[in-house]
Structure formats: structure tokens, C-alpha cells
Amino acid sequence: MLLALALLALPMSVPVVMAQNLTVNGMAGGSKIYSLPELEALGLTEATEGREVSTGGRTQRLDVRYSGVLLARLLGDAGIEAIDRYKVRASTVIVTAVDGYRASFSWGELFNSPAGASILVITRENGERLPSREGVFSLRSLSDQRPGPRHVRQVSEINVLLN
């Protein structure tokens, strides 16, 4: 009995669930599913983000290199241009992680502003596959003043909602 209670007190490893494919929903032709090679075949964009890290009272700057596909390019490949131009301009793009975390983008941000050139579906960090905490696909909006709220780890789907 004591052994059973002791075993219950031990931390149990929880398997990490990672999306192996990325689904884009809401296009005129229906959903489109991308594997990692299919997504990267759309063409990789590189971006560098500078971070300040403080350790032991010292602050140093680290540059992190991201490679991925622009969200606008992915939506273009999935067929966003086939949607009525007036409806699509009022649309909202929702990026969702496997745990349900979401970030939203307007059509204007993605296709009619400089911000669109820095919103990446990331597949590599510093030339390597993403660390497991990020999943196979991650999303960052690198031009945001506070990038944390729209940093989506383990992206599983992207939905285009027509308003």
C-alpha cells in the first residue's frame, strides 16, 4: 500500500503532443494540409531577432535567426486570393496551437502593411529544426512591440474567418 502511494507521488512524464501537419481552413476550395517539406517548399524567409539576456548581473545581446514561410505567402498558396476581395479584406486570420492558444491577424496587417513581411510560420531556429517546446511549426510576429502575445508555439491550424 505504501509503495502504491509512493509511486503515485512520483512525477509522471506527460507526452508532448506535436502537430506534424499544418491545416489551413476557410479557403474557397476547402482545407489544405501542409507537411513540413511542403511548407518549406513555398520558400523560406530568414529573420533575425535580437534578445537581451541577463545572467549574473550582466546583460548580453543574443541574435536568434529564424527561418520560415511568411504567413501571407502560405495563405496565398492555400487560395486566399480566390475569396471575394471585399469579404477577404474584412477577414480575421486565427493561428491556433495544439493546446488551444490562439493569435489573430487582420487581412490588412498581412497584406497591406509592412508588418506582413515579419509574420513568419517558423520551421527553423539558428539553422536547426525547432526545439520540442516550439513544435514542428511556430509562429512569430517579429515587428510587434511585445512579441510574446502573438508567439504561437506548436501551431496546428490556421483559420480564415470571413466577417
pLDDT in tens, the chain (163 residues): 444 444 445 444 445 556 799 999 998 788 999 999 999 999 999 999 987 778 888 998 889 999 999 999 999 999 999 999 999 999 999 999 999 999 999 999 999 999 999 999 999 999 999 999 999 999 999 999 888 899 999 999 999 999 8
Q: What share of the chain is helix, strand, coil (3-state, %, to 5)?
A: 25, 40, 30
Under CATH, which number does the domain 17-161 receive? 3.90.420.10
Q: Where are the domains of the chain?
A: 17-161
Residue of 136, 111, 103, 116 lying closest to 37 (CA atoms): 136
- Helix or strand (DSSP H, E) at 111: helix 107-111
Q: Report the 10 Å Cβ neighbour count for 62.
A: 10
Integer Cα distance of 150 and 143 in angstroms: 11
